[in-house]
């Protein structure tokens, strides 16, 4: 797992990191961490991870010993490692949880881009970002703080909750309801027709209409 910080990247002490992931610091709790990296790529301001309880424990410990990482998530403390250690039950899970603290989705600017087409009957919440060439249909509702990336299309009557991210070229079909804090990836279609058919007594099959 390698991740380069963006302009909004933060820095945390190991003490703060341990509190966020439910871990215990073995080493300097005030050591500052500014990123997440693999063992081979990490610097003194990065944290990495080792699963010291796996069948490859000896190999992983040797790799950790050669690493420049400022700290390691580790399942059990290893006395022979001079590196700061944050002991957690699931080291990789801790890395994944911490990634959300460090790195936020990119932003293309606040408000509605002039090239977007937003229906007059749509309801747009506060702090919503609507990117270039987005199409928002009639009677759509979009909750506070959601981000709609370029070329996404939201069909009429759909609703998107607060804090959502709809990535580029995604499609939200008519009357589809998306809850809060959801992420729709690039090119995804939410609410499109599924493979729903029933046998037709007269022969062939009848398609079940998708009604949202």
| Nearest-10 Cα torsion for 77, 89, 70, 16 | -120
Q: Are residues 134 and 186 in the same domain?
A: yes
pLDDT at residue 60 in the model = 78
Interval 11-20 mean pLDDT: 96
Q: Does residue 120 share a domain with residue 92?
A: no
Q: Domain total for the chain?
A: 2
Q: Are residues 148 and 123 both part of a single domain?
A: yes
Whether residues 155 and 184 fall in one domain: yes
Percent of the chain clearing pLDDT 90 (strictly above)? 69
Residues 74 and 115 in one domain: no
The larger pLDDT score, comparing residue 107 to residue 84, is at: 84
Distance separating alpha carbons of residues 175 and 159, to the nearest angstrom: 7
Model-level pTM?
Answer: 0.65
On whether both 93 and 172 belong to a single domain, the answer is: no
Taking only the tens place, the pLDDT of each residue in 178-208 is 999 999 999 999 998 777 888 988 888 888 8
**More confidently predicted of 51 and 171:** 171
Indicate if the pLDDT at residue 4 is higher than 60: no
Residue 44 has what pLDDT?
96
Q: Positive or negative, the Cα torsion across 187, 192, 198, 203?
A: negative
7 — pLDDT class (breaks 50, 70, 90): very low
Q: Which domain holds residue 27?
A: 12-102
pLDDT digit string, tens, across residues 126-172 = 999 999 999 999 999 999 999 999 999 999 999 999 999 999 999 99
Quick one: pLDDT at residue 203? 87
Q: How confident is the model at residue 6 (pLDDT cuts 50, 70, 90)?
A: very low
Residue 206 domain-assigned? no
CATH number at residue 134: 2.160.10.10
Task: Let me know if residue 174 belongs to a domain.
Answer: yes
DSSP string, the chain: --B---TT---EEHHHHHHHHT-EEES-TT-EE-EE--TTT--TTEEEEE-TTSTTHHHHHHHHHH---SEEEESS--TT--SEEEE-S-HHHHHHHHHHHH-------SEE-TT-EE-TT-EE-TT-EE-TT-EE-TT-EE-TT-EE-TT-EE-TT-EE-TT-EE-TT-EE-TT-EE-TT-EE-TT-EES---S-EEE-TTSSEEEPP---
pLDDT of residue 8: 53
């Amino acid at each position: 797992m390698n991740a380069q910080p963006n302009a909004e990247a933060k820095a945390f002490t190991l003490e703060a990191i341990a509190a966020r992931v439910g871990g215990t610091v073995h080493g300097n709790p005030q050591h500052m961490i500014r990123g997440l990296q693999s063992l081979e790529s990490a610097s003194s301001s990065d944290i990495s991870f080792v699963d010291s309880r796996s069948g490859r424990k000896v190999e992983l410990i040797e790799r950790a010993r050669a690493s420049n990482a400022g700290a390691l998530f580790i399942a059990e403390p290893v006395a022979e490692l001079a590196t700061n250690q944050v002991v957690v039950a699931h080291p990789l899970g801790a890395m994944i949880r911490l990634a959300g603290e460090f790195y936020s989705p990119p932003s293309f600017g606040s408000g509605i881009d002039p090239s977007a087409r937003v229906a007059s009957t749509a309801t747009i919440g506060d702090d919503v970002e609507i990117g270039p060439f987005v199409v928002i249909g009639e009677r759509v509702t979009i909750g506070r703080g959601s981000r709609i990336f370029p070329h996404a299309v939201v069909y009429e009557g759909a609703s998107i909750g607060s804090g959502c991210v709809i990535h580029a070229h995604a499609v939200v079909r008519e009357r589809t309801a998306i809850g809060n804090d959801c992420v729709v990836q690039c090119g995804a279609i939410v609410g499109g027709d599924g493979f729903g058919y029933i046998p037709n007594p007269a022969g062939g099959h009848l398609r079940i209409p998708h009604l949202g």
